[in-house]
Amino acid sequence: MSIEDDIAFFERVPTLRLLGRTALRILAIGAETRYVHDGEVLFKAGDKTDCGYVIQEGTFTVKAGEGSAELVAGPGTLLGEVALIAETTRPATATAREPATVIRVSRSLFMKMLEGYPDAAVKLRDQLAARANESMREIRNVRALLDTSEAPG
């Protein structure tokens, strides 16, 4: 794929789309494409992070641990979004369900891009803040439901 193809692909990824075409060009130039074999583990729960992966082709099973629900992620999914901006550990294991291709975006590349494009950084911050606020509203709603159901009646 060409750089222009990679940029167009990144524009279809919700979190990356808001960064803008110029910032995405930097990511497309510096990112690495990786082939993943059927059944191969891309990363394991508990691994330290240094990058995010965008699934280009194929699907992955993402599972947090024994007894947890299995999610299936396909093309255009960004795995490890938080890893792009913070050192953390992987909360789940991602395993290829079929031969797949991912684009690896290192944290250092992503952070350098944000330094060079502060408008993109502001857009990303605003989106993450909005999502955090929405999550907090949902938690408060669930807490209210639980408090109501536990009240003596």
Phi-psi region of 24 (alpha: psi -120 to 50; beta: other; left: phi over 0): alpha
CATH number at 35 reads 2.60.120.10
**Confidence tier at 132 by pLDDT (50, 70, 90):** confident
- What are the pLDDT digits (tens) for 67-113? 888 999 999 999 999 999 999 999 999 999 999 999 999 999 999 99
Residue-level pLDDT at 129? 83
Residue-level pLDDT at 66? 81
Q: Could you give the number of structural domains in the chain?
A: 1
Provide the β-strand partners of residue 36: 100
DSSP string, 127-147: HHHHHHHHHHHHHHHHHHHHH
What pTM was computed for the model? 0.84
Its domain, for residue 69, covers 3-150
Rounded distance between C-alpha atoms, residue 25 and residue 113, angstroms: 10
